[in-house]
Structure 1
């Protein structure tokens, strides 16, 4: 075989290899087309705070599996994070169609119904959730808070205490338990709950605010001023807290 023929054969082999490599991605089944790929991508994008891109990834998944409850629930979570509770509810309801008794989905429905102010509906769904999973922490918390909104203070107190048995560091539950005690005229227990709330989460603005109000009404003006100072530091634009701090300072006596 002449040198020119050898060179021609090598060139042909390289061309065949190149064509094979070029057309390989056109074969039908690859990771980019799987449910698992789009689910993981959606989760990653949501974690990165890229909510719009995460929704698009989950929508790609739904093109492959239109009734995927996990993806529908996660899109609901994204809209919930964005404060669009009506859209979140739509996706949670769609997720429920494929998984009627999933306590996570039911709990999410109850939570956004509460956030939408639909307390009676939230109560019903959250009760249903707790029948399936009696230790569902978020369902317990939101049902307790729903009872508080519906003026069912004894029921609220019981459920907040159950929530705190499961999670002693749940600052918002301590704060809301304080609200329940306050409505029942149990100021000392309210004070203890608010104090525990801000000890669990030093950035809990509403805990400091509630503590400031209670201390002011109890005549403990210096302590009240310190509580409102914490609010001011966390929320510098809160003019109401600033005014209350100044008022408490006005009545604060050195020997207090």
Structure 2
């Protein structure tokens, strides 16, 4: 998949070309004190640390100077001191909410500190000032994307793609936003555009595979992931994605091979190790599964299915207390999944705990409506249980 963190980082660098061009302009139209002129001269000479001190002193002498606060934010941003630039910009905006360009500088400072949700409001205000600015639309779309507001991101990213149709990276961000908002046709349209230029794009094949899975076109999803594996067998998550799709089709032996290959690439891949253990249970390889799951439970990102499957193995070995604890742990991680409740109910029933069994059966019946266990959720770290019941 396209790495969201990497994409956002690259767009941060792109944003550098748009930033910090505005606050200085309006200030030049104001009456300048001798101290302000000296501070501006320091900026023009690239002596930003000294300029920061000069503007800081002016804000102390004249705390209602919009220019001083705006320029203080500007030089701090040029020094890449974005967290301290933000309060200076905000102070300037309190003094003059309509100062042209300042909303953009504030939004960019938030963006560059990774505070994408906070960047949205000032960038929206800046976009109102300049509705035809394609760069602003891109930044706003990326801010929505970075804050996981995918539906809001899509129209801005669509406008950006229209303005820069040759930008495959931007198309990838749009495709991923559409995917997370379940706009699968949109994802597939971007996939077609990307693949026309770059037929071996592993990220495009993976995104298309996830979209096909969301549309319940599993065979096409598998085909896309097989092409992704062929194009880049070392790509993070590519073997896990293919393995998970094979696992949903109950091709457990092939799925296990893919999970093992993912673990060769990344021995700490919690999802791959968890589902490998589950596949081994389904293949009747309980000893191998136990060893795999005992490793998986020690990983920091252990997923729910590990505890479910350990409970199954402990119950099969008549280790009832351990099995109860495992199922309860699985339920604690996600109470909405029916399988652990059902397994625990069966276990309580075998232990003669009728009241406890009835309570868990009741919960299982209430939760029986199936949920969408799509690959998008798996790839993003969801902790759902497998559709079929594992063999003991």
TM-score over 0.5 (shorter chain): yes
Q: Kindly tell me: are residues 168 and 70 of structure 1, through their superposed partners in 2, closer, same or farther at Cα, counting changes over 3 Å? A: closer
* Cα 1:111–1:90 shift into 2, 3 Å: same
1:46 is the counterpart of 2:179:
yes
**Which of residues 237, 252, 272 in structure 2 aligns to 1:119?**
252
Query: 1:34 touches 1:61 (CA, 8 Å); kept in 2?
Result: no
Change (3 A) 1:82 1:137: farther
Match of 2:206 among 70, 73, 77: 73
1:170 alignment counterpart? 303
Offset at residue 84 of structure 1 (A): 3.1
Contact 1:85/1:115 (CA < 8 Å) preserved in 2?
Answer: no
How far has the Cα of 1:105 moved from its partner? 0.8
Q: Kindly report the root-mean-square deviation, in angstroms, between the aligned alpha carbons of the 2 structures.
A: 2.1
What is the deviation of 1:169?
5.8
**Aligned equivalents of 1:189 and 1:168: distance in 2?**
21
> Are 2:270 and 2:301, in contact at CA under 8 Å, matched by a contact in 1?
no
Q: CA deviation at 1:30?
A: 4.9
Write the mapping of 1:215-254 to structure 2, written as runs, cut at 5 A: 215-235=348-368
Which structure has the larger Rg? 1
Find the aligned partners of 2:241 and 2:302 in 1 and give their Cα distance.
21
Q: Of the candidates 271, 284, 289, which is equivalent to residue 156 of structure 1?
A: 289
Hey, which bits of structure 1, 4+ residues long, moved more than 6 A?
none
TM-score (norm 1): 0.75
Which residue number corresponds to residue 340 of structure 2?
Answer: 207
The answer to whether the aligner puts 1:64 opposite 2:197 as a matched pair is yes
Report how far residue 233 of structure 1 moved. Answer: 2.9
How many residues align structurally?
A: 209
Structure 1: runs of 5 or more not aligned:
1-28, 238-256
Say if 1:85 and 1:112, in contact at 8 Å, map to a contact too: yes
Q: Give matches, 1:192-203, under 5 Å.
A: 192-203=325-336
Aligned position for 2:228: 95
Aligned to 1:183: 316
1:110 and 2:243 matched: yes
Instruction: Give CA deviations for 1:131-163 in whole Å, capped at 9, x if unaligned.
Output: 221111111011101110011112112222222
Deviation, structure 1 residue 184: 2.7
Higher share of residues assigned helix: 1
Q: Distance between the aligned counterparts of 1:126 and 1:233, measured in 2?
A: 33
Aligned-partner SS, 1:33: coil
